[in-house]
Amino acid sequence: MSLKFLPILGLAAALITALPASAQVRLPNLPGGGRLPGGELLRRTEPLLTSTSQLLAPVDPLRWRERLADQLLRRHPDQLQRNAADELVFIGEVLALPSSTQARQRVLSMDGWERVEETRLDGLDLAWLRLRASAGTSPAALAARIAQLRAEDPEGSYDYHHVYVDAGTATSTTLASASATGSIGTEGAVTGERRVGMIDSGVDAAHPSLRHVALTRQGCAGQARPAAHGTAVASLLVGDSEIGFRGALPRGRLFAMDVYCEGGSQAGGGVQAIAEGLAWLARMRVGVVNISLVGPPNALLRRVVEAAQDKGLLMVAPVGNDGPSAPPLYPAAWPGVIAVTGVDARRRVLVEAGRGPHVAFAAPGADMVAAEAGGRGYAAVRGTSFAAPLVAGLLAARLPSSDRAASSSAFNALAREAIDLGAPGRDDVYGVGLVGASLRVNAGDLR
């Protein structure tokens, strides 16, 4: 089965003609004409760094993901390990998408593999095998076996079952308490059809900023498992409260896939769960999906991202917090995914934010608060994780359902609003420029 690249919905022409001459850029040469932008386009300057931002700034930004991976390994030593490339993966597991029936039969007949399950991604027209190598297979031996699979079926896709992690942190200290009146919101209070999706950890629907949200959950066998990161991201997407907190798409309808199921016995954040989330959101015909997660360029997840783009989903993801000289992180760096960096209250890029030609937009990512899970308060947040949902919400206001043709228009409209920052024109630090500056809410703004 060969990789398929579809045209980019006329986006290249639209971008080059719609923006002023100073903002026009050359889009990268992609097979088949490429896809949505992935990062090209506009940019410009607010208040001092607060003590909150200084407090949350990472001591060593280059070890951001490494520290998170260490935490997950300590929690799930029986399920997770580092592979030969030092990436976090499920022990011995391989995801296989053979190119033909014959290739599939050959894989299943190989010694030393156990078929764990076959996953069918309804809505994306994909199906793959999840395999597990014999107990005791070393990371080096597993790498060699994956290389063998790829060599014998170069048209197929074979990769580790990678684990993806979040790209931001929230303090556990409540900086402001909500004193909203009225009933606490639950799922299903439909307030309109402005829709947006997210793939993250669980959402605390009981938080006052989310009480007006029509929330549809998926994952964790139907169980609600609220978590700090997912709740903060959800509030920045659709939150709205009487005390002055608002997200980018206030009171929008949220479709939330929990890929971590925190508090459960199983490790989360794997490629398979993310893929199932994208397939579900494609079936729900959501137009914009926020994925505030980062990881390596997994071959199977890339196939899923491309299939979701073919169905009209516009994906938004953070560039990550591994530092300005780090390699690009995914899904943000794949063609067509809207990659978002974060800026502080002075409109300066976060020191830990990734950089590169894939950066599309900058948005507030520090000196701000978001909903705190498990209570009524708001916590300080920092990281590109929290910039991405602001961009996703702004795009979702223009793209309520999946529509390939309308995606380019939504992107172009937001690009025209961007404030140029840094060097004139599009650059690898701020992308097209800053959007959503007015959406930054700090503790002093709450009443």
CB 226 within 8 A of CB 264: no
d(CA 212, CA 226): 17
DSSP string over 335-382: TTSEEEEEE-TTS-B-TT---STTEEEEEE-SSEEEEPTTSSEEEEEE
Residue position matching structure tokens 């899923």: 304
**Phi (first) and psi of residue 3, to 5 degrees:** -70, 140
Residue position matching structure tokens 């069918």: 120
DSSP H or E stretch at residue 296: none
Q: For 389-400, how does the pLDDT look when each residue is reduced to its tens digit (9 = 90+)? A: 999 999 999 998
CB 218 within 8 A of CB 280: yes
**Phi (first) and psi of residue 325, to 5 degrees:** -100, 5
**Which pLDDT does position 385 carry in this prediction?**
95
**Residue 92 has which token pair?**
């011995």
**Phi (first) and psi of residue 318, to 5 degrees:** -80, 150
**Which pLDDT does position 66 carry in this prediction?**
81
Q: For residue 203, how far is the Cα from the chain centroid?
A: 15
* Own/partner long-range contacts of 69-72 (Cβ < 8 Å, ≥24 apart): 69/163, 69/165, 72/163, 72/165, 72/267, 72/269
Q: For 117-138, how does the pLDDT look when each residue is reduced to its tens digit (9 = 90+)? A: 999 999 999 999 999 999 999 9
What angle in degrees, to the nearest 10, is found between the helix axes of 271-283 and 299-310?
A: 10
CB 387 within 8 A of CB 365: yes
d(CA 8, CA 312): 11
**Which pLDDT does position 171 carry in this prediction?**
66
* Pairing status of strand 157-162 against strand 88-97: antiparallel
What angle in degrees, to the nearest 10, is found between the helix axes of 228-238 and 384-396?
A: 30
DSSP H or E stretch at residue 17: helix 11-18
Residues of the chain with pLDDT under 70: 1-63, 171-192
Domains defined along the chain, listed by start: 33-62+166-445 (3.40.50.200), 79-163 (3.30.70)
